[in-house]
């Protein structure tokens, strides 16, 4: 998912 410390979307 879109966690606070990393994003899976570009």
Partner 1 sequence: MNIFRILGDVSHLLAMIILLVKIWRSKSCAGISGKSQILFALVFTTRYLDLFTIFISVYNTVMKVIFLVCAYITVYMIYMKFHKTFDREHDSFRLEFLLVPVTGLSFLENHSFTPLEILWTFSIYLESVAILPQLFMISKTGEAETITTHYLFFLGLYRALYLANWIWRYHTENFYDQIAVVSGVVQTIFYCDFFYLYVTKVLKGKKLSLP
For residue 5, with 0-12 CB atoms within 10 Å meaning exposed, 13-18 middle and 19 or more buried, which class applies? exposed
Rounded distance, CA 7 to CA 10, Å?
A: 7
Least Å distance, CB 10 to partner 1, is: 6
Number of residues that bind partner 1 (CB under 8 A): 10
Residue 1 beta carbon to partner 1: minimum distance, rounded to whole angstroms:
6
1-10: contacts with partner 1 (CB under 8 A): 1-10
- Interface residue list for partner 1 (CB under 8 A): 1-10
């Amino acid at each position: 998912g879109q966690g606070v410390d990393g994003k899976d979307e570009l």
